[in-house]
Structures are given as structure tokens and as C-alpha cells.
Structure 1
Amino acid sequence: MTEPYVQPVASLEEKLPDVLMRIVSELYDVAYLIERVEPQLLEIGGASVLQSPDTMKVLQGIDLAVQKARGLAEFIDTITATIPDDCMVDVSTALNLVKLADMHKALSKGMRHGHSQPLSKAAGDFDFF
């Protein structure tokens, strides 16, 4: 199933700290989703995959991607604490560039709870791109 096309957003000013904290949340989601790949690769390939230098490089790359996503989230989270609440930004152009409906919704105005990606899909479910 494909995600619905996201309609362009009119001019929308928001508090910069609120926008950045939604980005932080999305980065943590990305780290979590990437982290879930590694055990699946090991399950598919079995213990023998650990003997391949190329596979080890891929697994190390997955680990690095998770660390980088979390590091960026922590960095943005930390600097966001120093930004005054009255600092406003227009997020409409940036939101118009986000084509994934779930991510667009998560980054749009308003508080969100939980993950933007559905983590409880049944096995075998997938989206067409």
C-alpha cells in the first residue's frame, strides 16, 4: 500500500524549539528502525555470516548509523534547550519537501506521541514505493 500524497502546506510559523524536538524524535525513530535490522541479518545468515569480513563491515556500518542518528538527536536536543521559545520559523517550505505522510504528520505542528513509523505491522506487510 502506498502512502497518500501529502498536500502542500501554507505558510506556517512555529516555535523553533518545538520543531527541533520533533526532529529529535524522528532521529530516535530512525536509530531504532536501523537497529532492528542487525539481528534480522544475523538470523537470516546464521552465525557463519560473522566470519565474512564484508558482512562485518556492513554490521559495523549499521551500528555506526545508529550511533550517528542518536548522536545527532542528542546534539539537537541539547542545543534546543538554549533557544528562546519566542524564536519562530516558517516550516511550510521544509514540510512541502517531506513526501512520507507519516513523517510529514510527525513534523507538522502539534505534539506527537510514539513513533512515526508503524512498528506493529503484521509480518509480511509492506508499502509500495
Structure 2
Amino acid sequence: MSELLGRVSIELVDIAAQVERLHPLVSAQSGQLAAGDPHYAQALQSFDHIEQKLRCLASYLNDLGAAAAPGWRLEPHAALAAITLSDLASRLAGQNSEPLRSASPGDFELF
């Protein structure tokens, strides 16, 4: 259980980092829009709040995993079937031990 919660925590940290890397893009577009549109300013604040919540959830799950009893087991395979991104499912299952890597500038992945 501890290991599974740790893997989920790592994924959440990675998503939070990806959201954080989008801040400059969103901020660059916000100039006059934020000043004239309170809904846009709220959307920017929500974007930042999403990142903060992801980091908090990651920390929470990591701490739960660290506090879990050593013998506590959970069979995650049925739940993993609901994960439609194969690379994410592999990492959560512990089958892919490669560290998460961010794309180089200019790289993109088509899906």
C-alpha cells in the first residue's frame, strides 16, 4: 500500500509541475484581459489553486503511504483497468521504473 500511494503521489507532483510550467503561458495572455474581466482573473487564480491542491494531495498520499502498516496490501489491478493512459497505468502498477521526464522545449507528443 505504501508503495502504491507513493506512486500516485509522484504522479500528482508531476502533474502539479506541469501546471506550474504553464503559468508563464497563461500570464503572458493575461495582460489587459485580467484588468478588464474579473472572470478571467478568477480563472487565473483557479489555475494556481489547482496546482496547489495537486501538491497538497501528493504530500497527503505520500504521508499516508509512509504511515501505512508494513503488511497492509491492496490489489490495484481492477482499478488500474480504469486508467486509459497506458504509460500512467504502467507507472502506477510499478511496471515502469523510469523517472518521469519532461519534454524538451520544442518537443510535443501527439495523442
Specify if TM > 0.5.
yes
- Kindly, what percent of the aligned residue pairs are identical? 23
Alignment TM-score, normalising by the size of structure 2:
0.84
Q: Which residue of 1 aligns with 2:106?
A: 123
CA distance in 2, matches of 1:71, 1:94: 23
Stretches of 4+ moved more than 2 A in 1? 109-114, 121-128
Q: Which residue of 1 aligns with 2:87?
A: 102
Q: Which residue of 2 aligns with 1:48?
A: 32
Select the structure with the greater relative contact order (CA < 8 A; seq sep ≥ 6).
1
Q: Deviations for 1:72-104, whole angstroms, at most 9, x for unmatched residues?
A: 111111122211221111111011111102211
Query: Any gaps of 5 or more consecutive residues in structure 1?
Result: 1-15
The RMSD of aligned alpha carbons is 2.0
1:111, CA displacement in angstroms?
6.7
For 1:58, what is the secondary structure of its paired residue? helix
More strand by percentage: 1
Aligned length: 110
Alignment of 1:55-70 (within 5 A): 55-70=40-55
Alignment TM-score, normalising by the size of structure 1:
0.74
1:89 aligns with 2:69: no
8 Å contact kept, 2:13–2:58: yes
Query: Any gaps of 5 or more consecutive residues in structure 2?
Result: none
More helix by percentage: 2
